[in-house]
Amino acid sequence: MSDIFKIAILPGDGIGPEVMKQALKILEKIKKYINKKIFIDNYVVGGIAINKYGNPLPKKTLYGCENSNAILFGSVGGPEWDYLPLNKRPEKGSLLKLRKHFNLFANIRPAFFYKNLSILSPLKEKILNKGFDIICIRELTGGIYFGVPNGRKKKGIDEYAFDTEIYSRLEIERIAHIAFNLALKRKKKICSIDKANVLNTSILWREVVTDISKQYTSVKLEHMYIDNAVMQLMKNPSQFDIILCSNLFGDIISDQCAMITGSVGNLPSASFNHDYFGLYEPSGGSAPNIAGKNIANPIAQILSLAMLIEYSLKERNIAQKIKNAIQKVLDLGYRTKDLFTNSKNEKIVTTDDMGTLIMQSII
Ligand code: NAD
């Protein structure tokens, strides 16, 4: 195996470049602990690439990603490009294309709870006291978002619209393997979400996930209907460790997981293909309303880097060092504007300061 590891850096639009700068400070600091030689290359993507090259995903960027071992993505989009047709816009024209090009079928979104940020969560203190540390694994390239036929027919009162939810055994098997492998490294517990009391795709989903579980006998598998799962997440999120979902259910439940943590600026995500080639990015968007003001929260971008280090570089301890540093900075009361609640001991800091404080706290 090569001792060189290349990361394609795609900062993108809006707050993307500001928060990416902070992640790169962290990378510079921890490089020396990593067993491989790290090389980074910057590429333009999204709206800025449209302005420069007339294409949200220029060939050079795609080629750079193909020749890298992982992609660290910022965020793309903004009102400046909203006039363009959907498939020429930054998100569809770059991020969705990258997901398709690399067949990134597994989306992983952790949602964990920082004790001292409980005031930001909509959940009650007595629920939050138990804490939670959930990973939502969402199938990303199949299901109702891509199923054919879909469309609209007829006019007037007879008009109707339709979408097709379709899953093959192979699609379910491969996402289930991702979930079970991850469960082995965590609490050995999976809750698979479906609607098997109504939908054929869910019946197959439940059967296949149960079949795959026989290869991972140490992992406890539970099935839950989506309607119950959204209630349970509000009532007692601490009962979950890994949540495994189809594309549609994962879209909904991963946002609910984000919401109960209280801040989108803290949440990273990763998307993998079967070779575990990964694209790592914050869960939020390009936040054009705060771009260029040095007030964005860089934690999601820094945690996206931590995920890259954990999953692509397989350096779990180094990723943990970064997470510990973030916890320490938050414990000391430092907050970007989105996290600031004016409570005792809180000190408001800029994006740049937050990045530097986290970097300095890594030991
Ligand atoms: P958004 O996530 O950009 O912003 C929603 C709210 O969250 C805003 O108030 C924003 O200020 C805040 N926010 C988000 N990230 C933050 C951070 N790191 N620190 C502090 N506050 C933060 O969602 P939106 O407003 O719906 O979309 C804005 C643009 O981003 C759109 O063009 C959309 O298409 C694009 N978008 C891109 C991605 C991506 O690149 N993966 C994802 C979602 C949306």
Residue among 241, 246, 234, 151 at smallest CA distance from 202: 246
Same domain flag for 144 and 246 = yes
Q: Alpha-carbon distance 257 to 272, whole Å?
A: 20
Q: Alpha-carbon distance 140 to 119, whole Å?
A: 32
Same domain flag for 255 and 272 = no
> Of 235, 261, 287, which one is at a domain's C-terminal end?
261
The domain that holds 319 is classified in CATH as: 3.40.718.10
CA atoms within 13 A on the CB side of 30: 30
What pLDDT is attached to residue 344? 86
What pLDDT is attached to residue 1? 64
CA atoms within 13 A on the CB side of 235: 6
Which atom in ligand 1 lies closest to the alpha carbon of residue 299?
Answer: 18
What pLDDT is attached to residue 352? 98
User: Considering the entire predicted model, what is its pTM?
Assistant: 0.93
CB 306 within 8 A of CB 112: no
Answer yes or no: 275 catalytic. no
Same domain flag for 255 and 267 = no
Same domain flag for 151 and 51 = no
The active-site residue, picked from 41, 163, 255, 352, is: 255
Interacting residues of 16 by C-beta distance below 8 A, sequence separation 6+:
46, 74, 75, 76, 286
Query: The domain containing residue 339 runs over which residues?
Result: 1-114+263-363
In a structure prediction context, what are the per-residue pLDDT tens digits for the chain, which is 363 residues long? 689 999 999 999 999 999 999 999 999 999 999 999 999 999 999 999 999 999 999 999 999 999 999 999 999 999 999 999 888 899 989 998 999 899 999 999 999 888 888 889 999 999 999 999 999 999 999 999 889 999 999 999 999 999 999 999 999 999 999 999 999 999 999 999 999 999 999 999 999 999 999 999 999 999 999 999 999 999 999 999 999 999 999 999 998 998 899 887 899 999 999 888 999 999 989 999 999 999 999 999 999 999 999 999 999 999 999 999 999 999 999 999 999 998 889 999 999 999 999 999 999
Q: Does the CB atom of residue 16 touch ligand 1 within 6 A?
A: no
What pLDDT is attached to residue 227? 97
Cis check for the bond before 149: say yes or no (omega within 30 of 0): yes
Number of domains making up the chain: 2
E strands, 62-204, are 70-75, 106-112, 133-139, 151-153, 160-162, 189-194
What pLDDT is attached to residue 224? 98
Answer yes or no: 88 catalytic. no
Residue among 236, 223, 227 at smallest CA distance from 193: 223
Q: Does the CB atom of residue 284 touch ligand 1 within 6 A?
A: yes
Which atom in ligand 1 lies closest to the alpha carbon of residue 78?
Answer: 32
> Of 244, 261, 278, which one is at a domain's C-terminal end?
261
* Token pair listed for 214: 């026989």
Same domain flag for 326 and 269 = yes
Answer yes or no: 255 catalytic. yes
Residue among 291, 336, 310 at smallest CA distance from 12: 291
Same domain flag for 97 and 204 = no
> Of 261, 292, 314, which one is at a domain's C-terminal end?
261
Same domain flag for 232 and 308 = no
Answer yes or no: 353 catalytic. no
Answer yes or no: 13 catalytic. no
Same domain flag for 174 and 227 = yes
Same domain flag for 214 and 287 = no
Q: Does the CB atom of residue 219 touch ligand 1 within 6 A?
A: no
What pLDDT is attached to residue 15? 98
Same domain flag for 87 and 170 = no
Same domain flag for 256 and 129 = yes
Q: Alpha-carbon distance 223 to 245, whole Å?
A: 10
> Ligand 1 centre from 75 Cα, in Å?
8
Same domain flag for 28 and 91 = yes
What pLDDT is attached to residue 86? 81
